[in-house]
Structure 1
Amino acid sequence: MAILKVIEVLANSEKSWEDATRKAVSQASKSVKNIRSVYVNEQSASVEDGDVKEFRVNVKITFEIK
């Protein structure tokens, strides 16, 4: 039986929500091992002068505890 844990991570990107999600997983994987999945819980963006400047995601990362 596997024991899984979930953490919540916030990340941002100037490119896209997908890039922000990749950054969240990449950064989390530096200290968390055995990542199994990522769930995008929320997406938002900051706007400046009528243009999107930053994409933001709130993700839940699931990993196995060994």
Structure 2
Amino acid sequence: MSASVGRITTVSARSDVSFEDAVNAGVARAAATLRHVSGAWVKEQKVEVTDGKITAYQVVLEVTFVLED
């Protein structure tokens, strides 16, 4: 029987467009640096507000990647 071991790292990403765009940017950046990214959990979401309007979307992600043998 084979097993795999993963590790979780925290990534924060920001977008002026949407939460979805922030998540995509965070996962893409993590995948550019880490090998074998297998998933991500959105741990936190928040918005920046200026003059009563949302100006940015921020997410904190827990990114999982599988460790190599």
Q: Aligning the two structures, in what range does the TM-score lie when normalised by the shorter sequence?
A: over 0.9
**Unmatched 5+ stretches in structure 1:** none
**Equivalent residue for 1:27?**
29
**Unmatched 5+ stretches in structure 2:** none
Task: Provide the aligned length of Structure 1 versus Structure 2.
Answer: 66
**Equivalent residue for 2:39?**
37
Give the SS at the match of 2:33: coil
TM-score by length of 1: 0.97
CA RMSD of aligned residues (A): 0.5
> Larger Cα Rg: Structure 1 or Structure 2?
2
1:1-66 correspondence runs (5 A): 1-66=3-68
Q: 1:26-55 CA deviation, whole Å, 9 max, x = no partner?
A: 111111010100000000000001110000
Runs of 4+ aligned residues of structure 1 deviating over 4 Å after TM superposition are none
TM-score by length of 2: 0.93
